[in-house]
Amino acid sequence: MDLLEHQGKALFARHGIPVPYGTLWPNRPDWDGGYVLKAQMATGKRGKRGAIQFADSIAAVEEMAPRLSDLTLDGQRCKGVYVEQRLDIAREIYLAIALDRDRKSLVILASPNGGVDIEETSSGELLRLPIDPLVGLREYHVRAAVKHLDLSATLEVPVAEALTSLYALVVAEDATLAEINPLVLTVSGEVYAADAKVTLDNNAAFRREALEQMQQDSADDRSPLETGVASAGATGIEINTGGEIMAVVSGAGLMMATLDLLSERGLSVRGVVDLGGSVLAGGEALGRVFEAVSDANPLITFFNAYLHTALCDELARMLVEAQKIAPLRGRVVIRLKGRNSESGRAMLTEQGFEVFEDLSAAIEAVTHYKGRS
């Protein structure tokens, strides 16, 4: 989950990383001096694309903020205008802690030149320093990063403190990325995070009560279907809002295979849902999936479940319970295969669902229903 800049800076401040004064418009800035207006959206190069503006007065802020509020970039609507204190910049550097999936560890990323896209930084300028997960951040990591940044003696301590706090944030908040670009060194010798890019691990949402609200307010432009199924621990992908078939499956691999089979038949797919952990989470969780699918109003809902470890009769009971909580609209076709699938299919048949073990027969039934509509 990518946080908006102002959300990331709230986390920075909580963990002791200095940030400029700032407020979300229409709250009025309560400081004197210049102002920076930033459209809140998770897209790159905002400064080069008109999403960051500068103002010398409150009157100018009041004129610019409404225009930024209407901005759309890369299909993303502006989700607020953050008005921030304008800094007297002497130098900009780059600092980040990121998860390196190849190394299976966190890494420090540091460059003496910040304020530019990190992809444009030469390999010699960018330090990549892995942190052993069994050891954690140590003073020698911090010293190596500070040395690479080529700082004056007076700035070494505050930058070292910012790096240490950045690492603490990543660990405490289950982040996969915490990036400051740029970390500003002011003329008066102060250090501020002038921007914030933070990505939180969705798999750790159960450990963070505030994460759900951040999810709702974040830069994630998901559809109602995708948001609804995510609340149940499932993953949804809206493909075509004009599609007539919703596919609900029991695994990511099966999701792609099911989508291919439906597409080969020339069927128009509204979206696909991978039940993931919600397969074992009970009827209430599946009920939330049913509600999101029902709200999408598909002509046909096709379930394709091939369970290797979970029991099919348990899933069948959950499906029956979910149907009572949030009845699906239109036709429902279910393919169920795996352990105890025979008793599971019998249970679903009693509830009026059309149930199959063979995938080809189930796809044929979906095609037949679509042809009759």
Strand pairing category for 245-249 and 300-307 = parallel
Q: Hey, what are 140's tokens?
A: 């020698």
Report the chain's mean pLDDT, rounded to a whole number: 88
All structural domains of the chain, each given as residue ranges with its CATH number in brackets, are 21-85 (3.30.1490.20), 89-217 (3.30.470.20), 224-371 (3.40.50.261)
Residue 19 has pLDDT above 70, yes or no: yes
Q: What is the DSSP string of 30-87?
A: -S-S-EEEEE--S-S-TGGGT-EEEESSHHHHHHHHHHHHT-EETTEEP--EEEEEPP
Strand pairing category for 354-356 and 331-338 = parallel
Q: Taking phi first (over 0 means left), then psi (-120 to 50 degrees means alpha), and beta for anything else, what does residue 297 get?
A: left
Q: What is the mean pLDDT of residues 340-351?
A: 95
CA quadruple 38, 42, 47, 50: dihedral sign: negative
Burial of 153 (0-12, 13-18, 19+ CB in 10 A): exposed
Q: 3-state DSSP helix/strand/coil percent for the chain, to nearest 5?
A: 40, 25, 35
pLDDT at 219: 47
Burial 231-246 (b: 16+ CB within 10 A, else e): bbbbbbbbbeeebbbb
Residue 6 has pLDDT above 70, yes or no: yes
CA torsion angle for 97, 101, 102, 103 (degrees, to 10)?
50
Q: What is the mean pLDDT of residues 318-333?
A: 92
d(C-alpha 330, C-alpha 311), whole Å: 27
Q: Is the pTM of this model over 0.75?
A: no
Tens digits of residue pLDDT in 69-113: 999 987 788 999 999 999 999 999 999 999 998 888 999 999 999
d(C-alpha 14, C-alpha 366), whole Å: 53
pLDDT at 232: 74
Q: Distances in Å between the alpha carbon of 306 and those of 207, 248, 314? A: 30, 12, 13
Q: What is the mean pLDDT of residues 244-267?
A: 86
Q: Hey, what are 87's tokens?
A: 């800094």
**pLDDT greater at residue 287 or residue 356:** 356
Fill in the DSSP letter of residue 25.
T
Tens digits of residue pLDDT in 234-248: 788 888 888 899 999
**Residue whose C-alpha is closest to residue 272's, from 290, 249, 295, 288:** 249
Q: What is the mean pLDDT of residues 52-70?
A: 94
Helical ranges in the chain per DSSP H: 5-14, 58-69, 139-149, 153-172, 211-217, 224-230, 252-264, 283-296, 312-325, 341-350, 359-372
Q: What is the mean pLDDT of residues 135-154?
A: 95
d(C-alpha 94, C-alpha 149), whole Å: 9
Q: Hey, what are 15's tokens?
A: 């963990």
Q: How confident is the model at residue 215 (pLDDT cuts 50, 70, 90)?
A: low
pLDDT at 217: 57
